[in-house]
Amino acid sequence: DQQVKQNSPSLSVQEGRISILNCDYTNSMFDYFLWYKKYPAEGPTFLISISSIKDKNEDGRFTVFLNKSAKHLSLHIVPSQPGDSAVYFCAASGDNFNKFYFGSGTKLNVKP
Amino acid sequence: NAGVMQNPRHLVRRRGQEARLRCSPMKGHSHVYWYRQLPEEGLKFMVYLQKENIIDESGMPKERFSAEFPKEGPSILRIQQVVRGDSAAYFCASSLNRGQETQYFGPGTRLLVL
């Protein structure tokens, strides 16, 4: 039962351009959403989060947008840098934060 | 401030043996989550523990898997009588509190069952 889905397994972007990574979810009870970045042979690293009471959260080059009616969130990276090349996971949790559901990841390649 | 530590980083077991994976959370963190990542898949929640308590184990297989987080020492994920399908990367994450707190992940333990 895949409650969080990332339908694009990979994305290739030119350095300096915008990277847009998408994520869909099915459970309307999800209350908190996060994005993680993962390099090979390492654990995921937290990037940015958003609560369901907001529709946008920004941190430097990273912005997360939440569309609750569409059950969709996206991560924008502007401008993209080669060091951003990694696998990006979105995750979601209900308001008890007992468990977090992860998408299958999108592999971003930023070309110099 | 040391991050989340996991050991071993790599573990090879033969079918039927036991695997013990250890996770030392960040200093001061009393909440630990365990996840499993199969090849080409995302992370799947297994269990959420606080010190001496299992809060949510709904993602853990009913048989052969157990987890603990004692008052002293690391959290342990134990897999008895391993099978080839247990081969995966196992990550733990710790947080200071429950709630909208950042989870910090360890580097993972890669288990290979021969």
Summarised one tens digit per residue, pLDDT across range A44-72 is 999 999 999 999 999 999 999 999 999 99
Output the pLDDT for position A59: 96
Check if B30 contacts A (Cβ < 8 Å). no
B21-50 burial code (b ≥16 CB/10 A, e <16)? bbbbbbeebbbbbbbbbeeeebbebbbbbe
Classify residue B20 by burial, with Cβ atoms within 10 Å: 0-12, 13-18, 19+.
middle
CA distance B80 to B64: 5
Nearest to B21 by CA among B36, B29, B11: B11
Task: Compute the distance between CA of residue B59 and CA of residue B43 in angstroms, rounded to an integer.
Answer: 11
For A3, the closest chain B residue by CA position comes to B44
B45/A100 Cβ within 8 A? yes
| Local confidence band at A1 (pLDDT 50, 70, 90 cut-offs) | low
Q: Which two tokens stand for residue A59?
A: 């941190």
> Smallest Cβ distance to B43: which of A32, A89, A96?
A89
How many CA atoms does the CB half-sphere of A83 hold within 13 Å? 2
Mean pLDDT across the stretch A70-95?
95
Read off the pLDDT band of A6 (50, 70, 90). Answer: very high
Q: Which of A73, A85, A67, A102 has the alpha carbon at shortest distance from A19?
A: A85
**What Cα–Cα distance (Å) separates residue B71 from each residue in B4, B62, B65?**
17, 24, 20
Query: Which secondary structure element, helix H or strand E, spans residue B46, and what is its range?
Result: strand B43-50
